[in-house]
Structures are given as C-alpha cells and as structure tokens.
Chains A and B, each alone.
Chain A
Amino acid sequence: MTGDAALPRDNGELVFQAPWEGRAFGIAVAMNEDGVYDWTEFRDRLVDEIAEAERGGPPSSYYERWLASIERLAVERGFITADELDARTAEYASGERDDEG
C-alpha cells in the first residue's frame, strides 16, 4: 500500500485531514516514545482543552485542541518558551523562514 491510492483508509476516512495534523500528532507521540514526557501529561491537557472547547470556547477542530495541548506541555515543562514559539510562528507567517524553499 503506497502512493495516493493508500491515503483513504478502508473505513473511508482520512487519518489526517491536512499535513499539519499528522505533524502535530507525530510530535506528541515521538517525544512520548522517546521518554521525554509521560503520556498522562499530554492526555490531561487534551482532556482540559476538549472540556474548555465544549464549555463554549472558540470553535476548534480536534487537532487544533491536540496542538494546543502539546504546545502547553512543551511550554509548561520548559522545553520551549511561549515567546520563542510566537516569534518562530511569525517568521513562518511572514515567509522570513521557509523550510520548503
């Protein structure tokens, strides 16, 4: 099973709707498998993000909540700072940094 034909699963549903969803998924799982953090640390934050969204927070997709959870984990555990994440995001947004180039 390779190539485009393999993308839709036999259940008819794409695993990831956009490439970034797969990256966000992979970041969380890869760091956990490497022993960087314990899965419950991520799961607890995902539970919070989902509960907050369902209490009437801004509309968000599942993987937006996933991303928010892994971001919070990375900042709260001191892996990165919120400021450097904001700055790096701005660099990608402006085109100042572009990995695909």
Chain B
Amino acid sequence: MSKDHGGDHHPEPEPYPALRTKALESLLVEKGLVSSDVIDELVRSYEEDIGPLNGAKVVARAWVNESYRLRLLEDGTDAIAELGFGGAEGAEIVVLENTPQVHNVVVCTLCSCYPWPVLGLPPTWYKSAAYRSRTVMEPRSVLREFGLELGEKVEVRVWDSTADIRYLVLPERPEGSEAMSESELAGLATRDSMIGVQKAKSPATVG
C-alpha cells in the first residue's frame, strides 16, 4: 500500500454538507422518524428505476389507445397509476396535450416541482434561475434556445408547477410514426418533449 493512498486513514476530509447530512440522518433515525433502509431504497429507485422512460410509456400508450388518451387528459394521476407509476409527495399530475394550435411548456418558477413518478428528478437547467424566470416572461425565445421554433399562430401556454399540481406534456405524435409499435413509440417521447421544450423525436432521426 502506498502511504499516499493507503486505506488506514481518511484520504481527505468530507465536505461540510456531507457531514451535516450524516448528522441529520443519524439523529432522525435515533428518534424513529426515518429509516436508513427506506432512504437506501429511495435513492436506488431514483437512480435506477424512476425516470423519463416511465413518462414515455404513458405517452406511447396515449398515442396508440384513444380511450387511454381521454382518461389521461381527464385524470392524469389515475391514468398514470394504471401503468403502475405514482406515489411521490401525493401531488396530482395533470397532463397537457400539445396540438398543432397549442404548445404547452412546464416550469416551476419558485423552486423545482416536477412530476417525479413519470420523469424522475429534474435536470439542472430546469432548476436554474434563468429557466424559471425567463420561461414565463419570454417563452418563445427560451424555446428557440432549445432549438424549437414555433409558428406565429401557435399559442404557447406556460404552466407553473406547485406543491399540489405537477404537469406532464403529451407531445404530438410525430409524422411518419404510423407503423410503429407502442414500445417503439416510447423511444420518441423524450424527457424534454414531456417538459414541453422540444417536440417528440421524428422517426427519421431514430435508429
């Protein structure tokens, strides 16, 4: 063992937030308010299982199944639960349908509220001060920076998430996807299209 990189002592001090978090967890565990096993499982599931693929499955189902699409728009939380997704924070999930006339885009102006069960945790840009403030004031220029140019006649609707209501965008089914299976279609519904800063991928760009 090299004495520089040996295992007997801590290689470098832990950052303060790491120490603080350990202290907080250990006190709350002692008081019976939280269990480390439950935290382990939550971290694992958000790192491995819960992500935009869940939302993509919801979108693909809505694209192929008209009655599911109607249920999804009527009561997002319930229709999403049909596919086995739900739970976090007890918030309601409202689904917003994009059409040739209306483009929906989602933001949380005050913090970072986001539909975790269907999209996982938000990307860094979603939490940035710039996205949070500018999306409301100048949505078209924000969308342009994501590479999305919308026609003059398209109405842009911006939805501000809250503790109680989270939004999922149902993007338009892309042209040329008519022959694709539900699972192939899920590959077109990207995270960004379900936030509303992009359109779904075109089949021409896939595979």
Contact = CB atoms under 8 A, between A and B. Distances in A.
A43 B113 contact: yes
A52 interface: no
B39 interface: yes
Contact of A39 (B13, B26, B38, B89): B89
- The main secondary structure of chain A at its interface with chain B is helix
Given A1-B48, A51-B110, A62 B22 contact: no
Nearest to A43: B163
Interface residues of A, number: 54
Interface residues of B, number: 51
A39 B112 CA distance: 13
Contacts, number: 144
A79 B89 contact: no
Contact of B26 (A20, A25, A99): A99
Interface of A: 1-2, 6-7, 9-11, 13, 15-16, 18-20, 22-27, 29-34, 36, 39-40, 43-44, 46-47, 50-51, 54, 62-64, 67, 70-71, 74, 79-80, 84-85, 88-89, 91-93, 95, 97, 99
Interface of B: 10, 13-28, 31, 33-35, 38-40, 42-43, 46-49, 51-53, 87-91, 110-113, 120-121, 123-124, 127, 129, 163-164, 191
